[in-house]
Structure 1
Amino acid sequence: MTATDFALRTHGVGKRYRKGWALRDCTLSLPTGGVIALVGPNGAGKTTLLRLVVGLLAPSTGTVEVLGRDVTASTPQTLSRVGFLAQDHPLYKRFTVAEMLRFGRACNLRFDQGLAERRLAKLGIP
Structure 2
Amino acid sequence: MEPAMPPVGGHEPWRAAIGPVAGAAVTATGIVSVGCRLVGAEVRWPRPGYDARRWATVFPLGTAAVASLTAAGQAGSGTSGWLEPLGRALLWVAVAVWALVAAGLVRRVARGMLSRTP
More strand by share: 1
- TM-score past 0.5 threshold: no
**TM superposition score category, shorter chain reference:** under 0.3
Which protein has greater RCO, CA pairs closer than 8 Å, 6+ apart? 2
More helix by share: 2
TM-score (norm 2): 0.27
User: Which protein shows a greater Rg?
Assistant: 2
TM-score (norm 1): 0.25
